[in-house]
A and B are shown apart, each in its own frame.
Chain A
Amino acid sequence: MADGDLALYEGVSKIERDHARFRQIVRGRIKKDLRKYMARGELIGKKGHDLVSIPVPQIELPQFRFGKNMGGVGSGDGEVGDPIGGDPQEGEGTGEAGDRPGEHVLEVDLTLDELARIVGEELELPNIQPRGKRTVLAEKERYSSIRRQGPETLRHFKRTFVRALRRQIALGLYDPLNPRIVPVKEDKRFKSWRVTFVPESNAVIFYMMDVSGSMGEEQKELVRTTAFWIDTWLHSQYKTLESRYITHDAAAREVDQETFYRTRESGGTAISSALRLCADMVKQHYSPLDWNVYVFYFSDGDNLLSDNEACFRILQDELLPATNLFCYGQVQSLYGSGEFKHRLDENLKADNLITTEIRDKDEILDAIKAFLGKGK
């Protein structure tokens, strides 16, 4: 039968072709008309015990199918009128359903690291290159060597007894019928450390948000979700990552994470105040020689007209030269004019300045991709 088996599996390698083709479609390289059928896996997750969904792009060829008012049958507890979770129609009724292999669904806990890897793979984010000379060499001690002297607490049990055994055999003191091994002082071996230098990249992220009257709950939610994914991704790239949070209306202040997402202020808007504060903090604490600095600024694009000049000046002279990346995400709000992105694009051009618009949740993905896709 062996030959037959080979023949059976020879064909299987062709899946790689199909897979490559599919990936090309997903990336929009070929058959662009199919992309509109692409269902985006949800990418919204929360830290902690809440669920995280893993994005799996699916392209569904259009077919004559029933829409939502088909209904169906399920099982479980609940009163008439209770909502049932999820979309029960999904995953049903694929053409070859009957022969779908039996699957075993397991629940899984993902660590944030794994999550970041999935996000990275999905968004095709490049691994971030540490900035050459700006890497810091950190001393690190690892217990990877052996010494003859040392404290009893660090005694290497196995090596000690192996030495003792060798000595006893050599001296003819070893009796296999009565295998007693007694180490003497010369037999003892101790664990010891070596100092190694590991390059370490330090990174700091500044999250800045406009909390003036025009930023509502919905806008904050967009910012929160975007920031979470950025945080997750950068955390997977840098071991030591600091986050600083700045909010501003007409004046800027540094806040903690909790406040950053919760506060709602009102009043005028002066973006330059936040940029000023940020630039000062960078100057004081995060020398660009040692630090990778990322700045993410979110607002609805409303700014005091007279303030724009000041913003551009701070960006041009201080922030942009000192940071790896300055990202501006403009969320759409009912009240905001959405002018700032426009102005920014007109007045400043820099490699590490990225601006993007986030109109709704669906665009978060694109925004993250735009922000981090350069691998800076």
Chain B
Amino acid sequence: MNLTFDLDNLKEEIKAHAIDCGLDFFDVVFEMCTFDQINQIAALGGFPTRYPHWRFGMEYEKLSKSYTWGLSRIYEMVINNDPCYAYLMSSNPLVDQKLVMAHVYAHSDFFKNNLFFQHTSRKAIDEMANHGARIRALGERHGHENVEDFLDACLSLENLIDIHSVAIQRRTEDTESTRFLSKEKDASDRLGRIKAKDYMDGFINPQEFLQRQKDRMDEEKRRQKRFPPDDEKDVLLFLLRHAPLETWQREILAIVREEAYYFAPQWMTKIMNEGWASYWHSRMMTGHLCTDQEIVDFADHHSSTVAMGSGRLNPYKIGLELFRDIEERWDTGRHGAEWESCDDYRTKMSWDTGERKGRETIFQVRKLYNDVTFIDTFLTEEFCRQHKLFAFRFNPSSGQYEIASREFADIKKQLLASLTNGGNPHIFVTDANYGNRGELFLRHRFEGAELKLDHARDTLHNVQRIWSRPVHLETVIGGHGRLLTHDGTELREREWAVETGPASEPEDES
């Protein structure tokens, strides 16, 4: 911490306000930085030390260029750590520093309390530094080029994680005893027959039922022979466990995966997190912190932060307005069956049950929700209309994005689709012994949006570099199923009509 005496006092003052507001946060360490330091740290994702990689250099160039040419500047950056680290830009005027501090305390509260952050490491600064040291050391030993190339391959797969696996047990780990247990079952069980008296047997175990049971068990047998037995969404984990990698490669892959899981909750809660912080900074600023002459500067700054420019959705704005909306609705009781079934405009306009639970509700929401559930639960038709939301889609004939709909249902569906899985496609490992040749089969669960094909091809090549045997990706392009296959030297593609489905086994290449 290198704050001036005044700023340090200010920090204590804001902290006291934040506590008064009911925020419960990790302590925050503020660092005063020059713009260049801020750009450097921001390029590294907010961390002072990361592993060496050109991608950070690229980010740095972009940030410093846009700062130099006056296109944008960073005014707030905070990292999820205990204590939280936040950065203040030394050239900012006092009113901005106040705003940033208030904003940061709310972020810290969110990091600490939101459920989806509970699995993240709170010693991330140290861990990132360790990862950096480790990868540097690996570079020394195995060649920086090799390490960087392998990192590139891993980073190109970094979104293939299962973001909910930290909260759900996806699979029961097989142990020797459970594996043999099933064989102990008695003969009748093996046929799936339900125990019954002889004269009832025909009714309790009719032929169709037995057939179904048999199918089910055959399926189960097949499943057990398959590898992996169930589709695996955590592709990185699967590669980490089963790909033939050298130890140093495994180590790099593990680091990339770990960091991906660390960052995942931040993109899962972008709207909420920013909304929450904006809600509290505006409340604290207008309530206590601004002096009379600062209020205009604050208003100016705040409005440009939450401005919805050029048709884009601004997470700050949406989050902030939704939190305010929730507070108002739960203050006046505008929710629940009674409210929804009421269709008299005038009654609705003056609806107030005196519930006064707004504040309590938003605190609950910030604890229990992520962006998907947040939008799903709290986005209302009135809200969409008020903020002029629309769904857009790409029109291939005009080559432009066009407004597709202003219907509430469409907007909500589209918004949820773009937030689900962090806006990433669902990709599964379905078979690691495809064609009994040890080839890896990935399946894209098609939900209406196609993959970017050129990227998919190159990404598949990267999967192949890690798996080392040929790899396949099944997806849908232009209404047709398509199988991309990369065997390390070349990429082949095969197409089929979706209704017929792909041949379950690969055709022999002749």
Contact = CB atoms under 8 A, between A and B. Distances in A.
Q: Name the prevailing secondary structure of the B interface residues.
A: mixed
Interface in A9-42: 9, 11-12, 14-15, 17-23, 25, 31, 34, 37
B72 A105 contact: yes
A90 to B, nearest CB: 10
B74 A64 contact: no
A18 B403 contact: no
B310 A86 contact: yes
Question: Looking at A57, A93, A96, which has the most chain B CB atoms within 10 Å of its CB?
Answer: A96
Contact of B388 (A59, A61, A75): A75
A58 B403 contact: no
Contacts of B103: 102
Given A71-B414, A75-B308, A95-B263, A5 B62 contact: no
Q: Name the prevailing secondary structure of the A interface residues.
A: mixed
Contact of A64 (B54, B72, B456): B456
B403 A79 contact: yes
B120 to A, nearest CB: 11
Interface string B45-66: 1101100111111101110011
B69 A84 contact: no
Given A84-B402, A85-B310, A18 B52 contact: yes
Contacts of A81: 402-403
Contacts of B60: 15, 18-19
Contact of B157 (A59, A63, A103): A63
B166 interface: no
Interface stretch (B187-195, B353-361, B416-424, B487-495): B416-424
B70 A70 contact: no
Given A81-B402, A85-B311, A19 B462 contact: no
A350 interface: no
Given A65-B424, A66-B452, A101-B42, A106 B73 contact: yes
A71 B459 contact: no
A85 B312 CA distance: 10
A104 interface: yes
B79 A80 contact: no
A73 interface: yes
Nearest to A17: B52
Interface string B299-321: 00100110011111100100000
A334 interface: no
Given A18-B52, A19-B57, A76 B390 contact: yes
B191 to A, nearest CB: 43
B387 interface: yes
Contact of B265 (A56, A93, A98): A98
B227 interface: no
B451 A118 contact: no
Question: Looking at A59, A71, A81, A104, which has the most chain B CB atoms within 10 Å of its CB?
Answer: A71
A19 B58 CA distance: 6
Contact of B394 (A71, A77, A104, A114): A71
B159 A80 contact: no
B100 to A, nearest CB: 9
B129 A62 contact: no
Given A20-B57, A70-B449, A71-B414, A11 B129 contact: yes
B43 A15 contact: yes
Interface residues of B, number: 109
Contacts, number: 288
A283 B419 CA distance: 68
Contacts of B137: none
B313 A74 contact: yes
Contact of A54 (B65, B160, B260, B390): B65
Interface string B271-311: 00110000000000000000000000000010011001111
B159 A73 contact: no
Contacts of A23: 57, 61
Contacts of A61: 55, 152, 155-156
A72 interface: yes
Nearest to A102: B76
Contacts of A102: 74-77, 103, 274, 305, 316
Contact of B71 (A54, A70, A71): A54
B411 interface: yes
A121 to B, nearest CB: 9
A104 B63 CA distance: 12
Contact of A104 (B40, B43, B72, B308): B72
Contacts of B459: 62-64
Given A9-B48, A73-B415, A95-B159, A18 B57 contact: yes
9 contacts: A5-B1, A17-B52, A18-B53, A18-B55, A19-B56, A65-B424, A73-B389, A74-B390, A105-B72
